[in-house]
Structure 1
Amino acid sequence: MSATVVIGAQWGDEGKGKLVDVLAAKADLVVRFQGGSNAGHTLVVNGKKTVLHLIPSGILHTDKTCVIASGVVVDIFGLTQEIRQLKESGFEIGSSQLLISDNATALLPYHKALDQAREKALSEGKIGTTGKGIGPAYEDRAARRALVMSDLFDEKTLLAKLEAVLKEKNVLLQNLYDAPEIKAKDIFDQIQTVIGELKAYRTTDVSLLVSQKIKQGKRILFEGAQGTLLDIHHGTYPFVTSSSTIAGSGSISAGIGPHHLSKIVGVFKAYCTRVGSGPFPTELHDDVGTKIQKDGHEFGSTTGRARRCGWLDLVALKYAIRLNGINSLAMMKLDVLSEHEQIGVCTGYKLDGEVITEFPTSTELVSRLEPVIEYLPGWKEDLTEVKSVKDLPRQAIGYIDFISRHVGCPIDVVSVGPDRDQTLWIKPLYKD
């Protein structure tokens, strides 16, 4: 059995968590493969909202196994809090339901301190990070000085490893950023308050586990975080996240061959949003953008920051389809576009007086783009109670069809509200 990858096809916040929760009902194993607690995946089941940052979005299905793979940077205190909150909500979260790779990078308080100090020092040139320590944690991994999860369980060597890594961190914090020193013993003691709870979820070889499940014919679902246009290599650099957000990263993080990733589902909103700094060609600075922000409740589940809103960008969406090998699209938040007389869609850009139809790889060029907008007729109807695609207003069906034809990829699922049940299937991704 091959694996399905769910990735964001825009600048993040597309609704991946909801889709993973829906698909997990028919999957066996859900693997989170990159990012960290900078993600905010919101699940709504029977009106009850659950926000996850590190735990895979299949966790509300008690008969599924959820895995945090080695490509994730794990905030051990945030993860422990998530587990506790789920338990308080009535979920057991046993060792058969959640597994954490011993080889995942441990994100510790000094990563957050450094992230926040840097962002403060940048002033007007802020990247717009969440301040969660994601970048510094990935830096440590690349520099071969990170502590991985297995290190935290070895009390004999842990303090010495913390002291070694904090020598450099404290030089930067104190001398460059005028921030307080962090003591290794304090971090060591903090780790001891949570490591006992996390011990039950240790797993040494995610690659072996996933490979065995594939051989057994199990359904594997890979969950990405952030979005394609925030990819460290292919996004609007430097206004990007610190990991590779595209589908191929699932193979790398879990340690399986890329040929196993056969179904690539690109999740996108019926419009566009972006959080933080960076170019955004279709951004709306008017009442329409404000209405979309208000109707879509476009405020970050991780930071609470307001999201910038704009019309759907089909040029950027085609770029995401190419980068990931997307062969199935999931449109989220179609309901938010109700009550617009007309709905704009970006089908090209003007750059220095010339019309182009490919997304530039230069962020400087992206910042100079002027969108070419086509307008389609809107609809007045409330879509949140619609139970079938055929019952959508003809204008909404026309909008879906226009997008699918333009990008050359089928839209197989449409979301008309935040709840698990507000999901319309054009073509089911899993056959029973």
Structure 2
Amino acid sequence: MRVDVVLGLQWGDEGKGKVVDVLAGGYSVVARFQGGPNAGHTLYHQGQKVVLHQVPSGIFHEGVYCLVGDGVVLDPEVLWREVEGLRALGITAEERLVISQRAHLILPVHRWLEEVSAEGEKIGTTRRGIGPAYADRYARRGIPVAWVDRADFEEAVQALTRYHAARFAAEPPPFSEAFWAGVALLRRLPRVEVGEWLPQFDLVLAEGSQGTMLDVFAGTYPYVTSSHTTVAGVLAGLAVPAQAIREVYGVTKAYATRVGEGPFPTEIHGEWARWLQEKGGERGSTTGRLRRCGWLDLVALRYAIRLNGVTRLALTKADVLSGLPEVYVRVGGPDERPTYVTFQGWESLQDRSFEVFVEFLEAELGVPVWGISTGPAREEWRLRSVLRT
């Protein structure tokens, strides 16, 4: 078994779903290894925009299995709605969607906890119940997917709900019909022990969500997500050995964005920030919140590349910068006083000034730029190096 990885090198929203969609046809399995419905991977299928939160981005490729791995937290209601949405597009996800028995469930009470506590607002989370679900997992009181077959499953989820409700005066929300429809869907879907099932396939593509700078250990703590967004998360979340990792595709925008609170050394304000927000459509695909924007940060990128052992870079949204008179890249200095290199702007990605920008990134980062996204559609790519087979 050989495993290639696609992951984000910034604070998420880098365009990982599109990279996975481009690559997926060459693999037997596309596997999510961490995160939950806080992911929002935007794809275009037959000209229609689709945002996937729980289903891996390989679902539009016939013959490719889509695995929700051990390290994922899964909201049955979100999964059910997503599968039904795919059905409306003519995609029968149940034929190729496989769920780990060891993934854990997000219950309505987990989303409720983020509403009644101040934590979600303070950190700037997506309010999808991700943190509370992971907290229950690590406290050894969570509900794994395997439990949906137990006779006492309903009592187990009710008991966990009562446990959390006892901490607050308010009543938690009831279980919706959609939640139980999601549970019924989980009972119908193939469920596996990932460590036994995955090694039968030769080529696996691991799909990350969020970004390296949001990793619960390696990110800008405490303004982080609740899972391991790095290559380390692949090993734990898919039960694969380190020797299985082959290529690591690190995805970065040609500038930087961040949703929610937390440090952002290259953040910009004013006219150019509004340019990036408007031209780049910089609104969170999960939360709808306007993204903060800034210049590309090579200090943070070097850190993320080293941490993940990145072998190839995928550069996205460089077309958004087209038309700016100048483009800035942070190359050093403390976070409080970053130092920048200034590049001549470009009108199109065919301009020599853009190629100078790309060559500079390769020289400074020591990693080749494998491909450049030239727009949102699947075919809008410019590949710069040959894939290894």
- TM-score, length of structure 1 as denominator length: 0.87
The CA RMSD over aligned residues, in Å, is 1.6
Structure 1, 371-380 or 196-205: larger mean CA deviation: 196-205
- Report if the CA contact (8 A) 1:232-1:240 is conserved: yes
| 1:7-406 pair list within 5 angstroms | 7-95=7-95, 97-119=96-118, 126-154=122-150, 156-174=151-169, 179-181=170-172, 186-187=174-175, 191-213=179-201, 218-350=202-334, 366=335, 369-381=336-348, 383=349, 392-406=350-364
Provide the rounded CA distance (Å) in 2 between the counterparts of 1:242 and 1:30.
22
Give per-residue Cα distances to partners, 1:208-264, cap 9 Å, x unaligned: 111121xxxx22100000000000001000000000100121111111111101211
Structure 1, 276-285 or 188-197: larger mean CA deviation: 188-197
Report deviation, 1:191: 4.4
Gaps of 5+ in 2: none
Provide the rounded CA distance (Å) in 2 between the counterparts of 1:106 and 1:236.
26
Give per-residue Cα distances to partners, 1:7-50, cap 9 Å, x unaligned: 10000000000000000021111000000000000001342211
Amino acid at match of 1:262: R
- Report if the CA contact (8 A) 1:173-1:181 is conserved: no
Give per-residue Cα distances to partners, 1:342-400, cap 9 Å, x unaligned: 100000123xxxxxxxxxxxxxxx5xx2211110111123x4xxxxxxxx211111110
- Report if the CA contact (8 A) 2:79-2:182 is conserved: no
Number of equivalenced pairs: 389
Structure 1, 157-166 or 131-140: larger mean CA deviation: 157-166
**3-state secondary structure, aligned to 2:117:** helix
Amino acid at match of 1:138: Y
Provide the rounded CA distance (Å) in 2 between the counterparts of 1:64 and 1:163.
36
- TM-score, length of structure 2 as denominator length: 0.96
Amino acid at match of 1:130: T
Structure 1, 253-262 or 236-245: larger mean CA deviation: 253-262
Give per-residue Cα distances to partners, 1:251-283, cap 9 Å, x unaligned: 111111111012111000000000000010000
Provide the rounded CA distance (Å) in 1 between the counterparts of 2:50 and 2:329.
32
- Report if the CA contact (8 A) 2:55-2:68 is conserved: yes
Provide the rounded CA distance (Å) in 1 between the counterparts of 2:370 and 2:177.
50
- Report if the CA contact (8 A) 2:11-2:257 is conserved: yes
- Report if the CA contact (8 A) 1:413-1:428 is conserved: no
- Report if the CA contact (8 A) 1:46-1:420 is conserved: no
**3-state secondary structure, aligned to 1:310:** strand
Provide the rounded CA distance (Å) in 2 between the counterparts of 1:335 and 1:54.
28
Amino acid at match of 1:199: R
Amino acid at match of 1:420: R
Provide the rounded CA distance (Å) in 1 between the counterparts of 2:120 and 2:147.
33
1:417 maps to 2:375: yes
**3-state secondary structure, aligned to 2:26:** coil
- Report if the CA contact (8 A) 1:26-1:430 is conserved: no
Amino acid at match of 1:394: R
Report deviation, 1:56: 0.2
Gaps of 5+ in 1: 351-365, 384-391
Amino acid at match of 1:170: A
